[in-house]
Structure 1
Amino acid sequence: MTNILIVDDDIYILQLLEIQLTELGYGVFKAKDGTEALRILKKEICHLAVVDVMMPFMDGFSLTKEIRRQYDIPIILLTAKNQIDDKEQGFQAGTDDYLVKPFEPKELSFRIKALLRRYDHQPDDAIVRIGNTTINKKSYEVTIGNRTFLLPLKEFELLYFLMSHPAQVFSRDHLIEQIWGVDYEGDERTVDVHIKRLRERFSGLTEDFQIKTIRGVGYSLEAKGR
């Protein structure tokens, strides 16, 4: 999974970007300032950073310089100012791109994808691995160790979606929309049935993941070691 670090002292912006980026399939790490961002980078693998310019303790320009000094990842600077001096300072600091608030989520998505391609850090999204379990959307195969399984289509798509977003909680309505489509006329019990089948298939085969019921909300896939 591609991990993106978001650095902004505005909690609302952090939450909004987290929702938008996780829906696109990215892993997200959040930091409220530059110091926290550098601590995260030391512990976690991040493939791209989205950095706000105006922050306490260490502004976005200083953080960009420090990231550029230590890591080879693309950086997008965010600012509420649309001034050429800020852009010049940002590019001098080493940013790869610049986005002015407010911005459309699609524009940020396009810029992220373009930078990941440029840096060649875009992984093969068709393959997701958790422990010894691999799910391949090109071949529609699930591999656990040396054993390979072919699942019914909707079971496969449901498992692939959950494995692509470990530790995230999804409502039944959201899963129906993602797997069966917005025009699906069945009810949410369809999700329950498919979850039950997946649990029965894999409960005795692997401990790499577990699909948990979040009471009153929906389901979440918990990966081993997370």
Structure 2
Amino acid sequence: MAWSLQEFADAGQQTGALAQAVREGLEQALRARGQAVLAVSGGRSPIPLFTRLRELDLDWSRVTLTLVDERLVPPGHPDSNESLVREHLLQGRAAQARLLGLATDPALDLQECLRRARLEQPRADLALLGMGEDGHTASLFPGAAGIESALDPACPERYVGVIPPAAAHTRISMSLAALLECPGLLLAIAGPAKRRVFEAACADPRSSLPVARLLHQARVTVRSFWAA
């Protein structure tokens, strides 16, 4: 089994457990390598966790923050994950961390952004993931063009371009292969609808849900945290 599941009565308890898991993962990397890399997802759901993480007593000057995925929009755009991280995580004690964005080409050319990401982004020690009710994780959406290649554990590309079938903006996303390079994978889910999707993915290794590909692999355990 490549996943574990912890259940919490509410979002506050879930946030506390996730913050502790992130602390432990970063401290382990800092002890082992002298530096640590944390990849985070965007959206509104992680904001309470970000506000908790930014006050952790860590040597943030030795931590690099990066993004699991990003919309192809400039920093400052309301839908930019980089802007969300700068506003809610790169504050307080965590202001000493370094942030590496993904939409870094001024012209926002997808191929140039991907080229830079593939060259410049370090391997993450820890990746914080969410999941949509369609079973997507990172920006690996079901039905997107090229999704089978992006979900191939042997995909040679660590970052892929994704055009979601039903969501706004072209995306840059870590591939499944890149996610599986992370020693620590944390999956945050909430509510009964997402619990049903998660259970369906766990039950069927042949499921077309992208999150099922993450759960049914043998390289790294996905620590899942569910809040009622």
Q: TM-score range by the shorter chain?
A: 0.3 to 0.5
Q: Which has the higher helix share?
A: 1
The structure whose RCO (Cα within 8 Å, separation 6+) is larger is: 2
TM-score (norm: length of structure 2): 0.32
TM-score (norm: length of structure 1): 0.32
